[in-house]
Structures are given as structure tokens and as C-alpha cells.
Amino acid sequence: MEYISQYSMELIALAVDAVLVGISCHYYLKARTTLDHIQTAIPLDLNTAKDIKNLVSSSPTSSIPYATFKGTVSAVHEPIRSHHSDLKGVIQLSALIEHRTSQLGSGLWVDRTQTLHSVSNSIPWSLKGTNATVEVTDSLLADILHLQTITDKFTPNNYSLGGALASWIAGERVKGIQESERMLLEGTPVTAYGEVVTKDEALILQPPSNGKPFILSTMSPLQLIRLFEQQQTRGKLLTIVTSSIGIAIIFYIAWKAVKKNREKNRLRQLHESVIRDRGSVETTREDQLCVVCLTNPKEVILLPCGHVCTCLDCGIRIRESCPVCRARVSDMSRAFIS
């Protein structure tokens, strides 16, 4: 317990740094793993390949566990119409978010958000090429799903003077409402990564059963690789920086402990020396007595002020300031008074 109390701030900093190291390492490993997966995915070309169905059916598992291809989005049935335009798509995510600011007990105002309404719509759709079509299932379960923002509108809440005063007294004020809509539009080129299987003579893209990332992106394969390379580099740098800070904190704690131990040994030796000499002194004049306890003789020099005014016992107890000049005491040394 004494050790913890002496190094409480350093231990708290070390604990926070350990959490940051864990987050950075997780970010780096996730980016590196995803990059490895997409670089080793089996490429398919829906425009030039003529016998993808037989390729899938002839595999030992009747599937391609992790494949990548590019196609154009096409709805199987009637597409979804946007709420704010004539655009049509196959996936629609709409949200109504309330933005408010609340006063904490300390008097500080902080921003908060609350989702009032959220809707996810998806219809059967496929990725088309010149020679093949692949139907996409469970697209909302994709680990990476790039959608186009159709609208993102914020409507501020206009308060009257009385309403503003009432909200200030209540400690909570609604700033406004944000309305957003994102869609995957028909005709959009999409790069897909996932498991390809056959079902009823149709090619199906589904989330991989081996745990690899399911990706539906409007980026090209090269852009995706560059994206994850950048994330991997950032994660690696963050891991190195946070780990270095943690090592520096550990070295600082060790240096502080060694310094404290040396100081403790020095004071112990000083105390033993003073106790030996104290027993050999028969009488002490009043002007040579410690100004604090008025019992023991003056035995130490307080540094850096240089006053010789206390015995060793009192000098250890009043390490904060000199009893004569109130200067801060950083060290003490043995004094010999004749």
C-alpha cells in the first residue's frame, strides 16, 4: 500500500497508457489482418469469365471461401425510392437524430445526441457483369458497407426569449434535429469481398463462414489496399509511441525508487552516525540546542539555505521548510559544532 501511495500518479499514467497500447495494437492487428485477407482473396471477373458456376461447383466445398469481384448494382425487383429525391437504390439507411446540450453538476455544458428514429431498408439485389450475375445476401451484415449520402440536413431549434430562459434554468436545451439518408444506388460499381456459393443454379455472395471480413465498397481493390495500408501504418506508429511512453514511465518509476532508496540509506547512515556522537556529548549549551524540540543538539545543515538549527530527528520531520527562513529544504548534511 505504501508503494502504491508513493507512485499513485505514475501508476495511473501507466494504467492509462496500457489501455492506449491495447487499443492501438488492436487497431494495427485488425488493419493488418484485413489487408492480408483482401490481398489473398481469389479474384473473379464477371465480365470475362464464362464458367464461374462450374468453377464454384467443382471446388471441394462447392464454394469459394473468400473471393473478390466487381459488378454493377441491380435490384432484383422494384428498387427503393429515396425520400428526398427521385434516386433509386437497393439499401436505404435513414435516421432522425436530436442534438441537445445539457448542464453537468459542475456547471459545464456538454453536447449530447439521441437517435429518435432509425430505419434500415434492404431488398434483394445483385452485382452484374457482362457474363455473370451474383446475388448478394445479408448485405446489412457487411463489415464494410459504403453508401452514398443522399441528404444530411440539420434544422436548428429556434427558441423565444422565454423558452431560452426556461431551458437555461432547466439545464437542458435542444439545439436541433438532424435528418440523414444514405443509400446504395442502382448502377453503382461495387467491389465485393465474401464467400461465393451456388444455390438453385444461381451464384450467391454471402458473409464468409471463415470469419473473414465481408466487404461491399464503392472503392476499387487498389484503393481498399491503400486504405488498409494507411490504417496499418497509423496503428503501428500509435503502438510504438504508446509503448515507448509506457517504457519511459516504467524507467521513471524505477529511477525514482532507486533515488528514494539511496536517500533512505544515506539518512540511515547519517542517523547512525549522529546517534553514536550524541551519546558521547556530555553537556550542550542552550544556544546549541535544536530550535524545534529544544532537547537534542543541533546536528544537521539544512540545504540549500545553510541554516544549522535542528537535530537530525526534527530535520527529517520538517523536510518541507526551514524553521528559520522558511526556505524549501531539498537536502541535509551532517553538521559539526565545536
Closest CA to 171 of 97, 98, 99, 108: 108
Residue 284: per-residue pLDDT: 67
What is the C-alpha separation between 105 and 43, in angstroms, rounded? 58
Per-residue burial over 307-318, b if 16 or more Cβ lie within 10 Å, else e, is bbbbbbbbbeee
Q: What percent of the chain has pLDDT over 90?
A: 49
Identify the pLDDT of residue 30: 95
Could you give the C-alpha distances from 96 to 116, 153, 165, 329, in angstroms and in order? 5, 10, 26, 63
Does the pLDDT value for residue 131 go beyond 90? no
Query: Could you give the C-alpha distances from 295 to 287, 298, 300, 303, in angstroms and in order?
Result: 11, 9, 14, 22
Checking if the pLDDT of 283 tops 90, the result is no
Lowest mean pLDDT among 12-16, 56-60, 67-71, 228-232: 56-60
pLDDT higher than threshold 80 for residue 205: yes
Using alpha carbons only, give the angle 270, 276, 281 rounded to the nearest 5 degrees. 120
Q: Is the pLDDT of residue 291 over 60?
A: yes
The pLDDT of residue 227? 94
Count, residues in the chain: 338
Task: Please spell the DSSP secondary structure of 179-213, one letter per residue.
Answer: EEEEEEETT-EEEEEEEEEEETTEEEEE--TTS--
Q: Which residue type, as a one-letter code, is found at position 61?
A: T
Taking alpha carbons only, the member of 119, 72, 71 closest to residue 91 is 119
Give the residue, 83 or 264, on which the prediction is more confident.
Answer: 83
Give me the pLDDT at residue 10, please. Answer: 87
The span from the CA of 328 to the CA of 245, in Å, is 31
User: What is the per-residue pLDDT across 16-26, written as a single tens digit (0 to 9) for each?
Assistant: 999 999 999 99
* Per-residue pLDDT, 323: 86
Q: How far is it, in rounded angstroms, from Cα 91 to Cα 259?
A: 65
Query: First and final CA of the chain: distance in angstroms?
Result: 44
**The cell 539555505 sits on which residue?**
305
